[in-house]
Structure 1
């Protein structure tokens, strides 16, 4: 997804009742961090830019956040937001969507999640940036070269919902495709306090290019099946029995690990790369050799130490995932949230 320039006023209530697989400390930027709170933005809105914009001050330091108008009203790089909508948009439900929903209204419904940070409680960082890494345009430059001590990163609600549930969310799953059925049993919209069954429904939130994404755990199951079937076929082709093929399938299924969404932060000084730091925004067991037991979808702000990048005048953000299409393009949107940039004094 690429940014579309518009202001959206959100009227959906915030929920406080959802917990995720990993409990994370609630992080809030310190006063001497670059927080973007000095930039003017209405309550529960977002703003896109046609060109780079400056943030910070003499106390915290000054950076320039890149923003690019890529044509046809679309953008990449950074936008500014303070939205914290963490449920499926109501208009994405066949039950609640108006019968005459226009394409613009559909996009606004998607944008309400794309420009929202996902936090397990009410977001306390006020303004923050939403980065779209398309075209390597999500970067900021420093007014003076220096060391970036850390930044805060988080998932957008768009990515969180897709990774946790998928493009379609209901109470009925197709075990073969690992997708929830849009005509399945109605469910409660996540994070909505009202528990009345009158508000139960099925929900849909398409990914980029109108793709129907499966949840990350479903992607893992499908990929493990593919590997198992390849191994089974190899055993049968070599003259093995059906029983041997089944045993090989089960072993391959068990041993294969996949499932992640990763943010990579690259440092540059005078055009030369100084290093990079990886941070998982979602991770399934066995993928990270250093922490093979990790199993989470990031559900709050996380502090990332960038001192290993050394002296830099630019930090570039990239995203990668195990879940891609036949051309290698990510199925989940290339979006993330950024706040609390601390520069060494």
Structure 2
């Protein structure tokens, strides 16, 4: 009788294995030849930058060379390797929790915890992945031999997700005139921290590159619509129109102007000639995409992007663009994204 529980367990195990067999196959079969970067050595919960291009893949998956170089000002040049998955504001970017004696190097390390993390709905299960910095057209990989890239997986860094969703400053108090949350406003729960202890509530600050204060995308859209509305109002008043006519013009221009996006553009090249490009939104506000005017999202997990329209390529280049830029046309948000799961056709 003492062996009876073992028999029960064995039977239950067989039933579970039988009922889950198809799911297990589905999990294992689709990805045998993807380049996943998990064969590259990297400590847990960390990242690695490179001073020269590095290879990934093998005979089964195919081999690529990811571009990288030394000398990054804000972050790395080209691609870095990471497995970090912090999805909340770093605690040490909060005035409430930050030590007063943090050095500039330590402050950058705090920011890097977001810059080199992938943002996913749950715990990231892709292990190692690449973080691309598209500045200077340096985020590209080359194929050992020309071929078709079936697809790649792309995602936002936690840095970009937090900035586009909440902004550089996050609290419960919004300054409607500037569309920025107040750093001295009411304290808020750190996103994705399952803790209802109000002693852990705080205000947070996470500057973008070069210590720039970024608005959340919704706030940036509001400010840009106000600017467009003011131009329309001024034009009416300058033409001799009434104040009421100016207000009507302001509202019409404000409501008609649609903006708000961060786009990752993926370009293919063969022997130095461009073969095509594919656009993927990392953040999108309503009315911007004419084919999907109702879309309103910030990418919050890995997304598969079909690259077969690029055809035969020996190089794949990644670029980023946004509606939210400074006076020189530079993106306010970091020019960073995450890459994994590269599948080459056989």
The TM-score, its normalising length taken from structure 1, stands at 0.91
Once the two structures are TM-superposed, the CA of residue 73 in structure 1 deviates from its matched residue by 9.4
Once the two structures are TM-superposed, the CA of residue 74 in structure 1 deviates from its matched residue by 5.6
Matches within 5 A, 1:7-156: 30-70=31-71, 75-156=76-157
Distance change (3 Å), C-alpha of 1:180 and 1:43: same
Distance change (3 Å), C-alpha of 1:297 and 1:94: same
Moved over 6 A (4+): none
Secondary structure at the aligned position of 1:31 is classed as coil
**Aligned equivalents of 1:72 and 1:104: distance in 2?**
13
Once the two structures are TM-superposed, the CA of residue 122 in structure 1 deviates from its matched residue by 0.6
Once the two structures are TM-superposed, the CA of residue 194 in structure 1 deviates from its matched residue by 1.4
Question: Is residue 202 from structure 1 mapped to residue 203 from structure 2 by the alignment?
Answer: yes
Once the two structures are TM-superposed, the CA of residue 30 in structure 1 deviates from its matched residue by 1.4
CA RMSD of aligned residues (A): 1.3
CA offset digits 1:225-260 (Å, max 9, x no partner): 000000011011111111111011111111000000
CA offset digits 1:4-32 (Å, max 9, x no partner): xxxxxxxxxxxxxxxxxxxxxxx997121
Secondary structure at the aligned position of 2:70 is classed as strand
CA offset digits 1:84-134 (Å, max 9, x no partner): 000000000000001111111100000000000000111111100000011
Once the two structures are TM-superposed, the CA of residue 58 in structure 1 deviates from its matched residue by 0.5
**Aligned equivalents of 1:99 and 1:55: distance in 2?**
42
Secondary structure at the aligned position of 1:107 is classed as helix
Matches within 5 A, 1:326-345: 326-345=327-346
Corresponding position of 1:218: 219
CA offset digits 1:38-74 (Å, max 9, x no partner): 0011111100000000000101110000001136796
Corresponding position of 2:181: 180
Secondary structure at the aligned position of 1:243 is classed as helix
Corresponding position of 1:193: 194
CA contact (8 A) 2:75 2:133 kept: no
Could you say which structure has the higher helix fraction? 2
Secondary structure at the aligned position of 2:304 is classed as strand
Corresponding position of 2:258: 257
CA contact (8 A) 2:117 2:158 kept: yes
Distance change (3 Å), C-alpha of 1:113 and 1:150: same
Q: Which has the higher contact order (CA 8 A, sep 6+)?
A: 1
Corresponding position of 2:9: none
**Aligned equivalents of 1:72 and 1:287: distance in 2?**
32
**Aligned equivalents of 1:283 and 1:75: distance in 2?**
26
Distance change (3 Å), C-alpha of 1:72 and 1:336: closer
Corresponding position of 1:5: none
Runs (5+) with no aligned partner, structure 1:
1-26
Corresponding position of 1:18: none
Distance change (3 Å), C-alpha of 1:140 and 1:191: same
**Aligned equivalents of 2:169 and 2:74: distance in 1?**
27
**Aligned equivalents of 2:289 and 2:72: distance in 1?**
38
Matches within 5 A, 1:296-335: 296-335=297-336
CA contact (8 A) 2:175 2:182 kept: yes
Distance change (3 Å), C-alpha of 1:118 and 1:269: same
Secondary structure at the aligned position of 1:70 is classed as coil
**Aligned equivalents of 1:252 and 1:169: distance in 2?**
29
**Aligned equivalents of 2:33 and 2:314: distance in 1?**
19
**Aligned equivalents of 1:132 and 1:213: distance in 2?**
18
Aligned positions, number:
319
The TM-score, its normalising length taken from structure 2, stands at 0.90
**Aligned equivalents of 1:71 and 1:165: distance in 2?**
27
